[in-house]
Amino acid sequence: QLCVCYKVPALVEEVRTALAAGRCVVIGLQSTGEAALDRIADENSTHPALYSLCREMLVTFIQNNFPVTKQADASLTKDLARARSFLESSLISKAEIRAAAAAPTSNPQARSEAAAALSLAVTRCHAASAEVARLELEVAKDALQAGKVDPDCEATRARLVRVAMAELLLPAAALDALIDELG
* Tens digits of residue pLDDT in 10-40: 999 999 999 999 999 998 877 666 666 666 5
Strand partners, 149: 69
Q: Which residues of the chain have pLDDT under 50?
A: 43-44
Q: Where are the beta strands (DSSP E) in 49-163?
A: none
Nearest alpha carbon to residue 25 among 4, 5, 42, 11: 11
**What residues form DSSP beta bridges with 172?**
none
pLDDT of residue 51: 66
Residues contacting residue 108 through CB under 8 Å, at least 6 positions apart:
none
Amino acid 53: pLDDT: 77
Q: What is the DSSP letter of 41?
A: S
Cβ count near 117 (within 10 Å):
17
Dist CA 101 CA 61 (whole Å): 66
| pLDDT at residue 42 in the model | 59
106 three-class SS:
coil
Residue pair 37/53 in contact by the 8 Å Cβ criterion: yes
pTM value > 0.85:
no
